[in-house]
Structure 1
Amino acid sequence: MSWDVLLSVVPEGFGSIEELPRDFRAPPIGPHGAVEDALRRAVPAIDLADVNWGVIDGPGWSVEVNIGRADPVDSIMLHIRGGGDAALPIVFQVAGELGCRPLDMTTGELLASADSAEGWWGFQEYRDGTVREDDR
């Protein structure tokens, strides 16, 4: 079970996916090689042994970085697992380096900062309430 955040090039001035025009098509993030380089700049410890599916590990959390095979890369999905707030700065670090905005797939909101991640806190609460202690 993960909290999913989509990274995409979305212009400023929009706060949620519902505010985007129906015909909105985000421009590509960039060529696959340039995206890999940007990810390594943002998080030097990223494991990109599989250049289509990276992993960032931290204390008590992990982020799977689904880049895909498309070239150019249109979007990136982050699958965040674990707890606490330490993973949130990584989301914004990666998004900033790529020139993207993070979209919380739970709430449909474009995240402005780590302080606006209600979906992350809601995800943890939901997960902790539905996953039995012996299933973790």
Structure 2
Amino acid sequence: MSWDVSLYKFSQRYQAVAEIPDDEQPSDLGSLREVQAAITSVFPETDWTDPRWGIFDSAIGSIEFNVGKDDPVKSLGLHVRAGDGIVDGILLLCEHMDCQAIDLGDGSFLEQSDEPTRSLQKWRAYRGQILEQGKAS
């Protein structure tokens, strides 16, 4: 279980996901090597033992970077288990890669949100509730 975010590079900056036309085809994020380098520049401890699945694990939390099989990379999936501080790194990664992040928790653009950590906080509360239910069993 994780809070999930997808990164895409569109032909223009959109303010809301609903603005994306049906015929929009995202641009490449870069070559596999370029995407790995961008991730590593923001999240230096990322383990690329599997070049298609980077693992960042630190005191602030973890992110699994699902790069996929395409080279060049079309999209990037982030599976996040962390505190609010991780969001700043995700936003910085978007800035470095000139892309937008769709928060799959609420379907909004993370960088357009007034409260970019809101969905992550909801996910953590839900996870905590599930863990507590497991302890009660």
TM-score of the pair, normalised by structure 2: 0.85
Q: Rate the CA distance shift 1:52–1:21 in 2: closer, same or farther, 3 A.
A: same
Q: Which runs of 5+ in 1 are unaligned?
A: none
Contact 1:41 1:97 in 2 (8 A): no
CA distance in 2, matches of 1:116, 1:42: 18
TM-score (norm 1): 0.86
AA aligned to 2:96 is E
Map of 2:26 onto structure 1:
26
Aligned to 2:64, what secondary structure does the other structure show?
strand
What SS class does the counterpart of residue 110 from structure 2 fall into? coil
CA distances 1:101-131 after superposition (whole Å, capped 9, x unpaired): 1110111100126842321111112222233
Amino-acid identity (%): 29
Amino acid at match of 2:109: L
TM-superposed deviation, 1:75: 0.4
CA distance in 2, matches of 1:106, 1:98: 22
Matched residue of 2:109: which SS? coil
- The runs of at least 4 aligned residues of structure 1 exceeding 3 Å deviation read none
AA aligned to 2:56 is: I
Per-residue CA shift, 1:79-101, capped at 9, x if unaligned?
0013x212112211222222211
Letter in 2 for 1:33: R
Residue deviations 1:9-44 (CA, integer Å, cap 9, x gap): 1332x2332221111111111111221222222222
Aligned-pair Cα RMSD in Å: 2.0
Aligned length: 133
What secondary structure, in the 3-state scheme, does the structure 2 residue paired with 1:131 have? helix
Task: Write the distance in 2 (CA, Å) between the matches of 1:75 and 1:33.
Answer: 14
Letter matched to residue 97 of structure 2: L
- Structure-2 residue corresponding to 1:134: 135
Check conservation: 2:87, 2:116, Cα contact below 8 A: no
Could you tell me how far 1:58 is from its partner in structure 2? 2.2
Give matches, 1:37-76, under 5 Å: 37-76=37-76
Give the drift of 1:60.
4.7
- Contact preservation (8 Å) 1:58, 1:87: no
